[in-house]
Amino acid sequence: MWLNGKLPMSPPMRHMLLFAILILAALALLSPAPPPPVADPLAALGWQLLADRRLAVNNDLACLDCHRPERGYTDGKPTATADGINTPTLYGLAERTTFGWFTPEVRSLEAFVLRPLDNPREMGPRAETTLARLRADPALRRAYAVAFPGQGQSVTWERTVQAMAAAIRSIPSPQRGPLSPAALRGRAIFAEVGCGGCHQGATLSSERYLNTGMSRDLRRNGGKARVPSLIGLTQTAPYFRDGSAATLEDVVAAYQRGGLYPGPGVNPAISPFLLTDAEQRDLVAFLASR
């Protein structure tokens, strides 16, 4: 239609339409997180559930209230709950094999998703009354039937968790352009001072649990925290498992000091080093580019 010039529109209308398309394209570029893909019915159900406060026993909290898409799937707070832990991003989880700051024993995303549903300081405990509330919604029952074809409409915790994990795995990482000259210099510094020993691979984690002496509270998991990914850092402040670093500059300063809570348990790869102001800015530019 467009190509053979037979579009049934007057030229001014056509211009207005083109203008509207351009505005929409510009808006799409500006939005922090692209809209969730809904082609896969399992992930589509999962997205609906991640946003649904009826999943909390008190009917008042959804996963996305803490993992907010516009904040890189975090809540922007130092710590989320009385557990005193920073909310990590949900970026990059399809490629990860460890989940949670202190839980090396959790081996799958599905297993981790049960934790906020069970935790009374988050959305739990899990209850039959919660499932009954979901089952009372005919549209939701149909969505379960579409997501699990040929298996009926039944609403179970197992299916709920499978759908939410599928949605989380479908989260696209933020778009990255080519590295700026500053970020390229920062990448070299990142390697030189040994960051890459722990932050490596596609997500810049290494799936290990280590004590870096960066955060207070050494009681959990013997002080060893999971090496976080470094994806979307510009959206996910504050940093560290206790949320003690407000900015990436603070993170770099903490590493330069060799950690804030030194002690015998701290990994030997963490030790003080000196960077010029310009080098610090370059390292921050690299961290902000991922």
In degrees, rounded to 5, the angle at the alpha carbon of residue 280 between the alpha carbons of residues 274 and 286 is: 130
SS3 4: coil
User: E strand or H helix at 210, and its extent?
Assistant: strand 209-210
**Residue 212 within binding range of ligand HEC, rule CB under 6 A:** yes
**Binding residue for ligand HEC (CB under 6 A) from 47, 144, 148, 239?**
239
Query: Which range binds ligand HEC by CB under 6 A, 5-13, 125-133, 175-183, 265-273?
Result: 265-273
Cα gap 105→87, rounded to integer Å: 19
* Nearer residue to ligand HEC within complex by CB, 24 or 132: 132
**Binding residue for ligand HEC (CB under 6 A) from 44, 147, 164, 260?**
164
Q: How far is the CB of 160 from ligand HEC (least distance, A)?
A: 9
* Nearer residue to ligand HEC within complex by CB, 31 or 58: 58
**Residue 116 within binding range of ligand HEC, rule CB under 6 A:** yes
Q: Which of residues 214-233 bind ligand HEC (CB under 6 A)?
A: 214-215, 225, 227-228, 230, 233
Cα gap 171→175, rounded to integer Å: 12
* Nearer residue to ligand HEC within complex by CB, 112 or 144: 112
The tokens of 118 are what?
A: 């069970």
The tokens of 199 are what?
A: 């932050």
Question: Which pairs count as long-range contacts for 141-148, CB under 8 Å and 24+ apart, including other chains?
Answer: 143/41, 143/44, 143/45, 143/48, 144/45, 146/41, 146/45, 147/41, 147/42, 147/44, 147/45, 148/42
Backbone angles phi, psi at 68, to 5 degrees: -85, 125
Number of residues that bind ligand HEC (CB under 6 A): 53
**Residue 170 within binding range of ligand HEC, rule CB under 6 A:** no
Q: Are 186 and 282 in contact (CB under 8 A)?
A: yes
Lookup result for tokens 């739990």: 124
User: E strand or H helix at 266, and its extent?
Assistant: none
Q: Are 210 and 223 in contact (CB under 8 A)?
A: no
Q: Are 67 and 61 in contact (CB under 8 A)?
A: no
Q: How far is the CB of 117 from ligand HEC (least distance, A)?
A: 5
Lookup result for tokens 């499978």: 162
Q: Build a one-symbol-per-residue string for 120-149: x at contacts with ligand HEC by CB under 6 A, - elsewhere.
A: --xx--------------------------
End-to-end CA distance of the chain: 41
Q: Are 237 and 247 in contact (CB under 8 A)?
A: yes
Q: How far is the CB of 25 from ligand HEC (least distance, A)?
A: 31
Q: Which of residues 1-60 bind ligand HEC (CB under 6 A)?
A: none
Q: Which of residues 52-111 bind ligand HEC (CB under 6 A)?
A: 61, 63, 65-67, 80-81, 85, 87-88, 90, 93, 99-103, 109
List contacts with ligand HEC (CB under 6 A): 61, 63, 65-67, 80-81, 85, 87-88, 90, 93, 99-103, 109, 112-113, 116-117, 122-123, 164, 168, 190, 193-195, 197-199, 210, 212, 214-215, 225, 227-228, 230, 233, 236, 239-241, 251-252, 255, 267, 269-270, 287
